[in-house]
Structure 1
Amino acid sequence: MKDYIKFLKENVSKYRNRIIAASVLSLVSMFFILLNPLITRVLIDSVLTSRNFSVLNKVIIFIFTFTIVNSIVHFIYSYSLNRIFLSLGLDIKKKIFKHIVKLDLLVTKKMSVGEINFRIFNDSDLLKQSFGQIMFGGLFNVILLIIIFIYMFTISSVMTIFVGVMNLIQVPIIIYFTKRIRAITYERKVVTEATLNRTIEVISSFHLLKGCNNEKSEIDKFDKNNEKVLDKQIKEANLNLLFTEISSVIMSCIGFGSIWIGGNFVINGIITMGELISFLLVANIINSPINSIVSVITGLQDALSSTKRISDVMKLENSIIQSNDCIKVMHKIVDEITIKDLNFSYDDGKEVLKDINLTVKKNTICSIIGRSGAGKTTLCLLIARFFDPSSGEILLDDVNIKDIDVDTYRKSVGIVLQNSFLFSGSIRENILLGKSDATEEEIIEAAKLANAHEFISELEDGYWTQIGSKGRNLSGGQLQRIALARIFLQRPQIVILDEPTSFIDSESEELIQESINKLKEYSTIFVISHKLSTVKGSNKIVVLNNGRIEESGTHLQLLEKEGEYSKLYRKILA
């Protein structure tokens, strides 16, 4: 509960003035709710019974004016609440997203994409709704309920006790159905989300589905999943229907009971007809605030759970520790990258890299090869400072990269992954990720250097061609060349290429290899590859085995050593 209150204070304080204004409007709206039964009471007892037509006209004009003013107040009140809640929800989403994006890979890899999405969208919406329910749906409805019962008590204590007892009977029913409906709604959402995810997977891999002749199996799964969704939807609808009908019966009992008791009081002259009608109108209002208050009570547990989940994410800290006096600007061109006595292990304690010592000169290509799990990608991610080594250091000339501001350092590093990721949007927008303020001439020049300009120009919309999520409208080679165009635009001092020529045709491989050789003029390049055709022209080849450097040298030097590289090379030739 403390975390929940603290979280609300941190995020709601900026809306203090708007909340005060909305609170005032809420009180005004509450006054209008109670004014209607009072006007009705006066209309019946003082106007209709005395047959005073002149007063009747005045009362009707007042009611008409009151209705217009009430509508205006209610519109402003609802508009204000929507602005506050929607803005608050957006603030929470932005806060969570900003924090998660700033976390390093060692931290974020512990969370699934589904978990992150749930925190950003589901949990933030629950907190937004809970604030509205507690502040305006709970607190103000409690005040309204108290005022209603005080007013009813001034008319008849007996009738008020009757209405109170009947509503108390309704409270456990509301609690029961609210919990059951909330639970079944959650189950429906889970089943629906699972069905949706599976459908997306199937649609995204039609070629695999048809290649395995598995259409019937997937159709059956789709039918079964949707039957589960339908089952939950029917249960949810039935619960809502049953709850509505039971509430309707209880409200009818309250209404008929009040008429019977009140009718006797009117006949015996204890209350007037206007008081009876006014009482019935007010009694009819009670159900809404009671439902709202119960909803707050039952929904608070969900809000507390969401707060804990969000707080757990917000408490996550980067494993990369940065000093306040770190280098903010890199002026010097790096002549040499040195890795000294580097060791690294993940949280499980198992060493992935051991005693790594390596020196790479500027404007050279260093290829890192080895079996799967040898530590190739981990080493390159350490060079990019996605996380820090457990011990040892990585030096740019004589400067430890830990002494350089993380953002500053990463601006000097460019990465192209095995499956180059492109965002939905145009080719131009994706290339601009390398340098957001680049000119058209710079974009085209970068694409030419990456051997991408020719195929881009042949597309109907050229650089403005929409490529779809993950670049699904392009071939693997085209994707890699657009990714390389980003790097040429960025002009980083260090470039990391993870399997740049895997799963592409020989023509694309030649074009990419040509681009890599051009890139060497600007950058020091680390290449991870299983393809010896890609690495044999490198200035230095490093062979990793079980997290250690087994051997290093040029292609010819390693062949002469008759070591692991030589075995791999001869195996491929054979």
Structure 2
Amino acid sequence: MAESVNTTDPTVTDEFRDSERTHMELSLWKRLYLYIFKYKKLLLGVTICGTIVGVLEMSFGLITMWLVQDIRTLGHDANLIKWSWLFVATCVLDGIVTGGFVYLVCKVRALASLDIRNDAFVNIQKQAFKFFDARPVGWIMARLTSDCERLSDILAWAFLDFVWGTSMMLSMGVVMLILNWKLALLTFALLPLIAWVTTKFRRSILQSAREVRSVNSIITGVYNESIVGVATSKAFVQEKKNLEDFSVHTEKLMNSSVKNLTLSAIYIPTIICVGSVSSGIAIAVGGQEFLNGVIVAGTLLAFMMWMRHFLDPTIELAAWFTEMQTAQASAERIFSVMDAEPTIRDEVNVTETTFTDIESIRVEEMSFAYRADDLVLRDIDFQVKSGETIALVGPTGGGKTSLISVLCRFYEPTNGRILINNQDYRDLPLKWYRSQLGVVLQHPHVFSGTILENIRYGKVTATFDEVVEAARMGGAHEFIEQLDDGYYTNTGTEGSRLSAGQKQLISIARAILANPQILILDEATATIDTNTEQTIQEGLNRLIADRICVIIAHRLSTIKNANKIAFIDRGQIIEYGSHRDLIAKSGRYTSMYRQQGLSETASTSYVIADKTLTQS
């Protein structure tokens, strides 16, 4: 099951740990609001509509005051029809403007959500494998989904309530001060107390919000692993254990959520009570002034309406303040993704390549560690030239795949160098270098979409005929043609509608279509039957010509004719040479070769040109 991230563990890196800030970070919110402020025309519309709605809300009190005064002055001669139509017209206009208000805010929210998610996703695409090694899937997914949605909601709807609430409070406040400044000041008197209460609740609400978001990330990861690993869970009858593990996390989420909701449930009523005390005092004083003849009934009634509605924006803004405390945790998390610096990128002094053909790769005393002081590769040294093939063999866990990952520059050497045409590959444009690679993994990834789109992933500008030719060379054309929709067959999520062998054939066709200068095969035919394998080898043999080829193989019969073979164990090349050289040494390679029941007459799969490969 997905492992949680202990954000209190001192070994967790700073960029991975959630922030511990307990105050509102104004610079963070300023940066966030840039996502909506760039839509100036839409925000202008929101501001205009919000101001109109706020003033209309205030005008209901004025209409009431004027109506009561008219009745008091004219009695039965008062024009009630006029006031009724004015009230109805104000309601209709309020409804129309509110509709436009909400529409504009929804549009701003959708655009902000799109921009935030795109910026985060763009930066994730730039990250090296180390970024994904250190972070659970749930950690990343929560930031791209729930955190992003929460932020876009806050940005748009909090802005709406701020514009509406501010315009209504200002318009009401001004009219109240004009009509009776004493009652107005009594209504405003406890606003500083509301601000003080808000400050006191701030730290607890933010801390609680972080706990909720952290546990939610873990649960997202558990969901992902449970779905991806459903076959394994069912095969070993571990559904009950999965449910128990999941229940532990959901209980933590429930407890954290209840704590967060409890704080909010205390905070909002407290604000209402404080505001109600202020209104109550103002009404008592206003009633006494009415009895004393200082104010008329219409003014008192209008004040009572305004006092009640004056609190509405305060309560709404207080509620949004609570949400902003919660959302700040989301903002910190999403910006931790946006601000993550790629560990592998073009160096400052990188220059355009002065060559188009890769003539050689030289690995020069290269060592590599995923974590400091824990080398998985030590002093690797070899050279391979265009048209030559090197095979990497050895026991599982010896470092073969790690070596491939460094060659692809998914990671970079800890010590030593990798030279392309005698130039350090870190001095070459990363995009250019990766575009020269054709990689076929033992467990290839097939994307959602059609088979045509998946093969074309190797060359997005390829024509349909080029895709078909690559599929023929890779042995995939025959099975594709047998499908009802042929090349337009939908592969399903992660290729769920295809067998392992079919996915491998598509991966091989994809690499062939890319026409790479460096071809890397990681047990490329391990999941394919012998007859299909022979067809694929014929295509691969044509592809290998005049290219550098690196092969990881467990079936040694497939690499007998490689120019050189490197036997890797515990991160070191312990035997190196041609097949014939290694057999003559009677070492580890010979032992593995015989364990597979092979002899010198065993069939081979890769037929490679007889060229020599030099080692330093």
Change (3 A) 1:194 1:102: closer
Report whether the alignment pairs 1:439 with 2:491: no
Secondary structure at 1:85's aligned position in 2? helix
Contact between 1:185 and 1:236, CA under 8 Å: does it hold in 2?
yes
Change (3 A) 1:214 1:303: closer
- Which amino acid is 1:384 matched to? C
Report whether the alignment pairs 1:409 with 2:427: no
Please show how residues 229-378 of structure 1 align to structure 2 within 5 Å: 262=286, 265-313=289-337, 314-323=339-348, 326-327=351-352, 331-332=356-357, 334-378=358-402
Q: More displaced, 46-55 or 283-292? A: 46-55
Report whether the alignment pairs 1:104 with 2:128: yes
Contact between 1:89 and 1:125, CA under 8 Å: does it hold in 2?
yes
- Which amino acid is 2:347 matched to? Q
Contact between 1:106 and 1:387, CA under 8 Å: does it hold in 2?
yes
Displacement of 1:293 after TM fit?
A: 2.8
Change (3 A) 1:346 1:207: closer
Displacement of 1:525 after TM fit?
A: 1.8
Gaps of 5+ in 1: none
Secondary structure at 1:434's aligned position in 2? coil
Aligned mates of 1:464, 1:171 — CA distance in 2: 62
> What is residue 560 of structure 1 aligned with on the other side?
584
Secondary structure at 2:576's aligned position in 1? strand
Gaps of 5+ in 2: 1-24, 599-616
Identity of aligned residues (%): 28
Displacement of 1:28 after TM fit?
A: 2.5
Contact between 2:138 and 2:218, CA under 8 Å: does it hold in 1?
no
Q: More displaced, 220-229 or 460-469? A: 220-229
> What is residue 139 of structure 2 aligned with on the other side?
115
Aligned mates of 2:229, 2:527 — CA distance in 1: 17
Aligned mates of 2:98, 2:372 — CA distance in 1: 58
- Which amino acid is 2:63 matched to? I
Contact between 1:3 and 1:308, CA under 8 Å: does it hold in 2?
no
Q: More displaced, 165-174 or 76-85? A: 165-174
> What is residue 608 of structure 2 aligned with on the other side?
none
> What is residue 14 of structure 2 aligned with on the other side?
none
Aligned mates of 1:142, 1:404 — CA distance in 2: 56
Aligned mates of 1:397, 1:243 — CA distance in 2: 67
Displacement of 1:368 after TM fit?
A: 0.9
Contact between 2:406 and 2:412, CA under 8 Å: does it hold in 1?
yes
Contact between 1:127 and 1:303, CA under 8 Å: does it hold in 2?
yes
Can you list the C-alpha shifts for 1:520-562, whole angstroms capped at 9, x where unaligned?
1364221123332333343321112333322222222211122
Aligned mates of 1:161, 1:237 — CA distance in 2: 33
- Which amino acid is 1:357 matched to? D
Contact between 1:142 and 1:293, CA under 8 Å: does it hold in 2?
no
Aligned mates of 2:293, 2:590 — CA distance in 1: 111
Change (3 A) 1:223 1:395: closer
> What is residue 497 of structure 2 aligned with on the other side?
473
Out of 30, 33, 43, the position equivalent to 1:19 is: 43
Contact between 1:126 and 1:303, CA under 8 Å: does it hold in 2?
yes
Aligned mates of 1:182, 1:284 — CA distance in 2: 29
- Which amino acid is 1:294 matched to? A
Please show how residues 84-99 of structure 1 align to structure 2 within 5 Å: 84-99=108-123
Out of 420, 425, 428, the position equivalent to 2:449 is: 425
Displacement of 1:273 after TM fit?
A: 2.5
Secondary structure at 2:596's aligned position in 1? helix
Measured on the aligned residues, the alpha-carbon RMSD in Å equals 3.9
- Which amino acid is 1:397 matched to? N
> What is residue 559 of structure 2 aligned with on the other side?
535
Out of 479, 488, 502, the position equivalent to 1:455 is: 479
Secondary structure at 1:106's aligned position in 2? helix
Change (3 A) 1:131 1:546: same
Change (3 A) 1:232 1:8: closer
Aligned mates of 1:468, 1:403 — CA distance in 2: 39
Change (3 A) 1:184 1:459: farther
> What is residue 605 of structure 2 aligned with on the other side?
none
Larger % of helix: which? 1
Q: What TM-score do the two structures reach when normalised by structure 1?
A: 0.84
Displacement of 1:227 after TM fit?
A: 7.5
- Which amino acid is 2:345 matched to? I
